[in-house]
Amino acid sequence: MPIIHLFQANLRKQAIELKRYAPNTIALFLTVYIIFIGMFFGIQFIGSPDTQAVTVQYTIVSYIFWYLAMMIVNGMGYEIVSETTRGTFEQLGMSPSGIWKILTTRLLADSLLHAVMVILLFYLSMLTSGEWLNIDLLSIIPIFILTCISMYGLAFMIAGLTVILKQIQAFLQIFQFALAGLTFISLSSHIYLLLLPITKGLQMIRAIMIENYQLTDFLLIDFIILIVNALLYLLVGLAIYLYCEHYAREKGLLGQY
């Protein structure tokens, strides 16, 4: 199938870039780990001994998912900035596959590669802190996939803005703090969990990893909110991107930098 070949090509491209620019990849990994170390020792010094273990576990899950959300959501924007800087973005528009399919497969490839880094960071963080989380893959994976779908919706929104505005690096840096808020806050209202991206899936993953929940421990409303939220953000994000791409084509902005 063409979409499978497109995914394989983009996976190979992204993997080659990570390997070719290995110092940058290693620096990114170490930066995320060192910041966690700083947070961990901060908790050790100022945290309450009674709740220290749970606080460290909560921090591990939230911080690692913040890194993943940042890479997925902002990644597509940076990809478009990079393509336009090189002068190759307009060539993607001439591909029979279409820009949005190429970006989608590239996003999936990036997600897979960063998921490997996230797994390494999880185990390294648990080894460093001495706090071991419940890694129940059968329960985590389906929730994780649905949570990523809502992230993809945000990524398409960012991509749409980038197609038109081109230079949005400052906005992406600011948006990192918004993502930090989404991943570290804990909400109980179903309305907020339905309307805000990422939060419901992360809440359920925290319950599995920290409180040893299984899929059968969640209520039906939990899955309804998670699925509706994922589909809502994906469809809205894709619609915004397609509109922005159509506008850029009409105004001749695809190849303009």
Instruction: Output the pLDDT for position 194.
Output: 79
pLDDT of the residue at 129: 82
CB 105 within 8 A of CB 10: yes
pLDDT at 135 over 80: yes
pLDDT over 80 at 79, yes or no: yes
Band (pLDDT 50/70/90 cuts) for residue 252 is confident
Q: 1 pLDDT exceeds 60?
A: no
Report how far residue 26's alpha carbon sits from residue 31's, in angstroms, rounded to the nearest whole number: 8
Q: Which of 42-56, 117-131, 142-156, 189-203 has the highest mean pLDDT?
A: 142-156
Residue-wise pLDDT for 31-70, tens only, equals 888 888 887 777 766 656 666 778 888 888 888 888 888 8
DSSP H helices in 130-168: 137-165
To the nearest whole number, what is the mean pLDDT of the chain? Answer: 85
Q: Which of the pair, 96 or 225, is modelled with greater confidence?
A: 225
Which of the residue ranges 147-161, 179-193, 220-234 would you say has the lowest mean pLDDT?
179-193
From 120, 110, 117, select the one nearest 14 (Cα to Cα).
Answer: 110
3-state secondary structure of 27: helix
Under 8 Å CB-to-CB from 96, ≥6 apart: which residues? none
pLDDT number for residue 223: 93
Percent of the chain at pLDDT exceeding 90: 23
Q: Over 60: is that where the pLDDT of 205 sits?
A: yes
Sorting pLDDT into bands at 50, 70 and 90, what band is 157?
A: very high
pLDDT digits (tens, 9 = 90+) for 216-251: 899 999 999 999 999 999 999 999 999 998 888 887
Which H or E element spans position 126? helix 99-129
Q: Which residue has the higher pLDDT, 104 or 256?
A: 104
User: In this prediction, what percent of the chain has a pLDDT beyond 70?
Assistant: 95
DSSP single-letter state for residue 135: -
The residue behind tokens 């491209």 is 13
